[in-house]
Amino acid sequence: MKNSYEIIPTSAKISALNCIDLSSPDTKTPVALLKQACIDSGFFYVINHGISQEFMDEVFAQSKKFFELPIQEKMKLLRNEKHRGYTPMLDEHLDPVNQIHGDYKEGYYIGIELPKDDSEAERQFYGPNIWPSEDILPGWSKTMEKYHQEALKVTKAIARVIALALDLDVDFFEQPEYLGKPIATLRLLHYEGKYSDPTKGIFGAGAHTDYGLITLLALDDKYGLQICKNKDANPQVWEYVPPLKGAFVVNLGDMLERWSNLKFRSTLHRVLGNGQERYSIPFFVEPSHDCIVECLPTCQSKDNPPKFPPIKCEKYLLQRYMVTHAVLNAYK
Residues 241, 198 contacting (CB under 8 angstroms) = no
Of 310, 267, 265, the C-alpha closest to 291 is: 310
Number of CB atoms found within 10 A of residue 208's CB: 20
Tens digit of each residue's pLDDT (9 = 90 or more) over 281-316: 999 999 988 899 999 999 999 999 999 999 998 888
Contact 158, 36 (CB under 8 A): no
Q: How confident is the model at residue 234 (pLDDT cuts 50, 70, 90)?
A: confident
pLDDT band at 3; cut points 50, 70, 90: low
CA–CA distance, 7 with 299 (Å, rounded to integer): 43
Q: Is 330 exposed, middle or buried (0-12, 13-18, 19+ CB in 10 A)?
A: exposed
pLDDT (tens digit per residue) in 202-219: 999 999 999 889 999 999
Whether the link from the prior residue into 235 is cis, omega within 30° of 0, is yes
> Is the bond preceding residue 128 a cis peptide, omega within 30 degrees?
yes
Q: Tell me how long the chain is.
A: 332
Ranges 4-8, 102-106, 146-150: which has the least confidence: 4-8
pLDDT, mean over the chain: 90
More confidently predicted of 116 and 223: 223
Which has more pLDDT, 327 or 10? 10
The b-or-e profile of 249-262 (16+ CB within 10 A means b, else e) is bbbbbbbbbbbbbe
List domains and CATH numbers for the chain.
Answer: 4-329 (2.60.120.330)
Q: Which residues contact 181 (CB under 8 A, 6 or more apart)?
A: 126, 288
- Report pLDDT for 270: 97
Q: What is the pLDDT of residues 59-94, one digit of tens each?
A: 999 999 999 999 999 999 998 877 799 999 998 888
- Which segments within the chain are labelled E, that is strand? 13-14, 19-21, 43-47, 85-87, 105-110, 183-191, 205-208, 214-219, 225-228, 239-240, 248-252, 268-271, 278-286, 292-293, 311-312
- Give percent of the chain with pLDDT exceeding 90: 72
- Judge whether residue 326 has pLDDT over 60: no
pLDDT-wise least confident of 78-82, 243-247, 266-270: 78-82
pLDDT tens digits along 113-158: 776 555 555 656 666 899 999 999 999 999 999 999 999 999 999 9
Rg from Cα positions in the chain: 19
Specify the pTM: 0.92
- Kindly give, in sequence order, each residue whose CB lies less than 8 Å from that of residue 244, ignoring residues fewer than 6 positions away: 19, 45, 47, 219
- β-strand partners of 240: 14, 226
Please check whether residue 302 is in contact with residue 262, taking contact to mean a CB–CB distance below 8 angstroms. Answer: no
pLDDT tens profile 26-35:
899 999 999 9
Position 39 pLDDT exceeds 80? yes
- SS3 (DSSP) at 179: helix
* Three-class SS state of 67: helix
